[in-house]
Structure 1
Amino acid sequence: MARLMGTDRGVSTALGYTLNIAVALLLVTGLLIAVTDYVGGQRQDAVRGELVVVGDRLVADLATADRLAGVADNGTVVVRSDAPARVIGRPYTIHVSTVSGVTHVRLVAERTNVVVTRTVHTDRDVKNTTITGGDIVITTEGAASDALRVVSDD
């Protein structure tokens, strides 16, 4: 009969246990990295989706204000546009500018790489402005002005 020499069996148990822990740690780390990337992508998609809705609502309200200003007796128009102050818990900024009768509404969510741009054709120029998210008022400058203004409804 062969006789066992030394403590080879004790080493193999400890080594097996250590290798099992190392493999489990690698699997859990890989899983956490994959889930973090997936959740981050889902968050950006959710922010983009909400900004698209806010942008579409704002350009629709701009078009409405533009049409109303064309038929108003004294040229004074006030259109309120309801918008959330934050999208998916993040503040955002609205940039409005007009170039050759085309109004560009650009929404930028802070701390993300999400930018949404919407356009609308208007008969009146829209004053260039930058405001933070939240309720918005679209108004004319008065009877003598053809321009629309977009301001925060604070």
Structure 2
Amino acid sequence: MKFYDRQQELSELNKLLEQTRRGARMTVLTGRRRVGKTLLSLEFAKHQKYLYFFVAKKSENLLCAEYLQDIKSSFPDTPVIGKIHSFKDVFQLLLQMAQKERFVLIIDEFQEFYNINPAIYSEIQKLWDLNKKQSSLNVIFIGSVYS
């Protein structure tokens, strides 16, 4: 798929990335399916260190195992201590990692977490509030609107 006429959006995403020097940033991209939200995010992230997580309709435990494998592949020097079975644990690990190294986290179809673990939104909010000033994580949540 070709990428056209999204320079303004890319510029805005780059401004947010620069702001992560002063603390973590969160961006939410929503819209109808198939309008290019994922492609825009990946185009932006391709020049950065990034992780891409897709929220598939699986158990939280299976998703976390996949996400942990992605983390280990992209950040082989990052020690993972203890068991990680919940997305709360994964997100906490990512915020800690971003205290040492700035990177982009893209979570696609974020609204699907509601079907997996409705408490995740408040858990993420708590972790975010406690860690955002010390972290340089640039997280992009992508959600689809169904009409």
- Whether the TM-score (by the shorter chain) exceeds 0.5 is no
Higher relative contact order (CA 8 A, sep 6+): 2
In the superposition, the TM-score normalised over structure 1's length comes to: 0.30
In the superposition, the TM-score normalised over structure 2's length comes to: 0.31
Whose strand proportion is higher, 1 or 2? 1
Q: Which protein is bigger by CA-based radius of gyration?
A: 1
Whose helix proportion is higher, 1 or 2? 2
